[in-house]
């Protein structure tokens, strides 16, 4: 058989509004066998999936095919095939169209004795060990398409809103970002480190000083916001913390918009529009995948997301949140009082029990937040905001930034930060300073929220966690 260059994605073959034009005509599809069911009526049914959609295409393979005995009857789960055939209306239930094969070329067999993914349910834990094969399953195919849609929506949303996509560095040569433990980047020989006065001599390293993988593009994002107006970053981020939870990764993807002349209310409104845009796009364009999550992963997730679209997000100050928690009558492991950071259990109560939906908390005590957040007139709180959603917790963290040089210097001194390490960041306040604000959204947490997937390791293709960098 000669290989043609024109084959049709199964997502289109299964879409009646598109596929009608191919009815009765010869078409070609390419993909992987999900199941084979033989009939003594003189043919076999093949379910073919090519990743383009959740559903499979049913192919009827008649025993008149030259290689029916030799190839078709040996097709097992995971085999790859190129199939030519005629699209017909299906007499069976469960699909409106099917393909009657006129030629089947097997491009690769998958030995059923050794191919791990057989026609049965596997646990997500086991599938993590087969990260190279798990995208071939229903769940991970659906997660992959939703993740893609969220990424696409991100660019669409910010571009539509006039934000520029900025590529902030992955390697950062300053160790002063303070957002968590960092991975060291070095070309120094680890078995023979140059030592000077009892310490590693980093002047001999590649960059002439210590270098790390970025924990946030925010500071660089502020630089560009203070020139381009509105910008966003979208890239990988690294945290070397020894976190072992269902919502932390050592390598994750973060979206960080930053906008000049934005104050906290603008920032909150932006976050709400952005989240709703992503949810709407997923419900519309990944309807079949979302239906699967609703049925098999988290019953009710579609309706919940629909309700989120329909009403404005709740806003609640930190102070009010503390009052709510104190009045709740709940027994918390960690006691609540004004000034204490909110724990997971507190956030969960607020978003899952009290509000029952997304909630934006704002105006946190200055003492528990970063130095760059703008001080309120009460001198006790800062213009910080966290967006909490049920099931996931904190999905967005952001703030209005301190644009006043003298105030920022005071806060840095109070936090023991050295001016010279931040000279360029401070220059933004020296020359043409403007109020500005931004936030960070963890893409994986958004995927979790939309799909209902419980473990963050199952919403990124190749999860990096402490002790695990296979694949």
Work out how close the CB of 430 gets to RNA at its nearest, in angstroms, rounded to a whole number.
26
Q: Which listed range, 33-41, 157-165, 195-203, 267-275, lies at the site for RNA (CB under 7 A)?
A: 33-41
Q: Which of 4, 6, 17, 121 binds RNA (CB under 7 A)?
A: 121
Residue 57: strand pairing partners: 48
Closest CB to RNA among 306 and 468? 468
Q: Which of 1, 3, 23, 126 binds RNA (CB under 7 A)?
A: 126
Residue 33: strand pairing partners: 48
Cβ count near 348 (within 10 Å):
17
Query: Are residues 450 and 154 in contact, defined by beta-carbon separation less than 8 angstroms?
Result: no
Q: Which of 221, 257, 390, 442 binds RNA (CB under 7 A)?
A: 442
Closest CB to RNA among 65 and 405? 65
246 touches RNA by CB under 7 A:
yes
Q: Among all chains, which residue has been given the structure tokens 């050592």? A: 250
Q: Which of 80, 95, 144, 376 binds RNA (CB under 7 A)?
A: 95
122 touches RNA by CB under 7 A:
yes
Per-residue mark of binding to RNA, 174-193 (x: CB under 7 A):
-----xx-------------
236 touches RNA by CB under 7 A:
no
Work out how close the CB of 185 gets to RNA at its nearest, in angstroms, rounded to a whole number.
18
Cα separations in angstroms, 75 against 85, 100, 336: 17, 16, 61
Q: Which listed range, 167-175, 241-249, 259-267, 311-319, lies at the site for RNA (CB under 7 A)?
A: 241-249
Query: Are residues 440 and 255 in contact, defined by beta-carbon separation less than 8 angstroms?
Result: yes
Closest CB to RNA among 42 and 162? 42
Cα–Cα distance measured from residue 178 to residue 365, given in angstroms and rounded to the nearest whole number: 18
- Nearest residue to 246 via CA among 460, 467, 454: 454
Cα–Cα distance measured from residue 322 to residue 335, given in angstroms and rounded to the nearest whole number: 10
216 touches RNA by CB under 7 A:
yes
The 8-class DSSP code of residue 313 comes to P
SS3 at position 142: helix
Cα separations in angstroms, 448 against 48, 246, 293, 393: 28, 10, 11, 11
- Nearest residue to 250 via CA among 231, 268, 237: 237
The full 3-state SS of 358-380, as one line of letters, equals CEEEEEEEHHHCCCCECECCCCC
Cα–Cα distance measured from residue 135 to residue 91, given in angstroms and rounded to the nearest whole number: 31
Work out how close the CB of 204 gets to RNA at its nearest, in angstroms, rounded to a whole number.
29
**Which residues in 387-406 contact RNA (CB under 7 A)?**
393-397
Closest CB to RNA among 222 and 347? 347
77 touches RNA by CB under 7 A:
yes
260 touches RNA by CB under 7 A:
no
Cα separations in angstroms, 53 against 219, 288, 432: 39, 8, 50
Work out how close the CB of 181 gets to RNA at its nearest, in angstroms, rounded to a whole number.
7
Closest CB to RNA among 245 and 306? 245
Closest CB to RNA among 100 and 161? 100
423 touches RNA by CB under 7 A:
no
Query: Are residues 438 and 398 in contact, defined by beta-carbon separation less than 8 angstroms?
Result: yes
Q: State the number of binding residues for RNA (CB under 7 A).
A: 70
108 touches RNA by CB under 7 A:
no
Query: Are residues 19 and 12 in contact, defined by beta-carbon separation less than 8 angstroms?
Result: yes
242 touches RNA by CB under 7 A:
yes
- Tell me the two tokens of residue 204: 């001999």
Residue 182 backbone zone (phi > 0: left; psi -120 to 50: alpha; other: beta): beta
461 touches RNA by CB under 7 A:
no
341 touches RNA by CB under 7 A:
yes
SS3 at position 48: strand
Work out how close the CB of 40 gets to RNA at its nearest, in angstroms, rounded to a whole number.
3
Query: Are residues 149 and 285 in contact, defined by beta-carbon separation less than 8 angstroms?
Result: yes
Closest CB to RNA among 205 and 388? 388
Residues at the interface with RNA (CB under 7 A)? 35, 37-41, 45, 58, 60, 76-77, 90-95, 98, 100, 112-113, 116, 118-123, 125-126, 128, 179-180, 216, 239, 241-250, 252, 254, 334, 341, 343-345, 347, 393-397, 440-442, 444-445, 454-457, 466-468
């Amino acid at each position: 058989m000669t290989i043609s260059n024109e084959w049709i994605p199964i997502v289109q073959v299964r879409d009646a509004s598109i596929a009608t034009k191919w009815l009765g005509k010869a078409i070609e599809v390419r993909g992987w066998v999900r199941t084979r069911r033989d009939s003594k009526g003189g043919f076999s049914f093949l379910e073919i999936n090519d990743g383009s959609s959740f559903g499979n295409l049913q192919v009827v393979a008649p025993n008149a095919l030259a290689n029916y005995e030799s190839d078709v009857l040996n097709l097992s789960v995971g085999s790859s095939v190129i199939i030519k055939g005629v699209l017909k209306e299906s007499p069976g239930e469960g699909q409106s169209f099917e393909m009657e094969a006129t030629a089947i070329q097997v491009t690769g067999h998958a030995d059923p004795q050794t191919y791990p993914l057989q026609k049965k349910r596997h646990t997500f834990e086991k599938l993590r060990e087969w990260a190279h094969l798990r995208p071939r399953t229903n769940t991970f195919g659906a997660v992959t398409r939703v993740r893609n849609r969220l990424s696409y929506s991100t660019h669409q949303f910010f571009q539509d809103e006039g934000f520029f996509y900025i590529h902030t560095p992955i390697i950062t040569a300053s160790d002063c970002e303070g957002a968590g433990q960092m991975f060291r980047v070095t070309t120094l020989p680890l078995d023979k480190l140059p030592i000077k006065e009892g310490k590693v001599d980093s002047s001999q390293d590649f960059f002439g000083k210590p270098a790390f993988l970025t924990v946030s593009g925010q500071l660089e994002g502020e630089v560009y916001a203070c020139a381009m107006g509105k910008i966003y970053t979208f890239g990988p981020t690294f945290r070397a913390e020894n976190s072992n939870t269902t919502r932390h990764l050592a390598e994750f993807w973060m979206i960080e918009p930053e906008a000049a002349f934005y104050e906290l209310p603008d920032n909150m409104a932006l976050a709400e529009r952005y989240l709703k845009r992503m949810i709407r796009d997923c419900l519309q364009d990944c309807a079949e995948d979302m239906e699967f999550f609703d049925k098999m992963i988290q019953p009710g997730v579609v309706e919940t997301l629909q309700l989120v679209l329909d009403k404005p997000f709740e806003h609640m100050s930190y102070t009010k949140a503390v009052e709510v928690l104190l009045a709740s009558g709940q027994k918390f492991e960690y006691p609540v009082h004004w000034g204490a950071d909110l724990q997971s259990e507190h956030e969960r109560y607020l978003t899952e029990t009290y509000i029952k939906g997304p909630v934006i908390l704002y105006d946190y005590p200055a003492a528990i937040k970063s130095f760059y957040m703008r001080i309120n007139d009460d001198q006790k709180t800062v213009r910080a905001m966290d967006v909490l959603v049920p099931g996931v917790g904190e999905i967005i963290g952001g703030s209005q930034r301190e644009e006043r040089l003298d105030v920022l210097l005071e806060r840095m001194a109070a936090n023991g930060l050295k001016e010279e390490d931040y000279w360029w960041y401070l220059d933004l306040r020296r020359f043409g300073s403007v109020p500005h604000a931004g936030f960070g959204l963890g893409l994986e947490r958004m995927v979790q929220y939309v799909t209902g997937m419980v473990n963050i390791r199952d919403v990124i293709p190749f999860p990096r966690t402490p002790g695990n960098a296979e694949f």
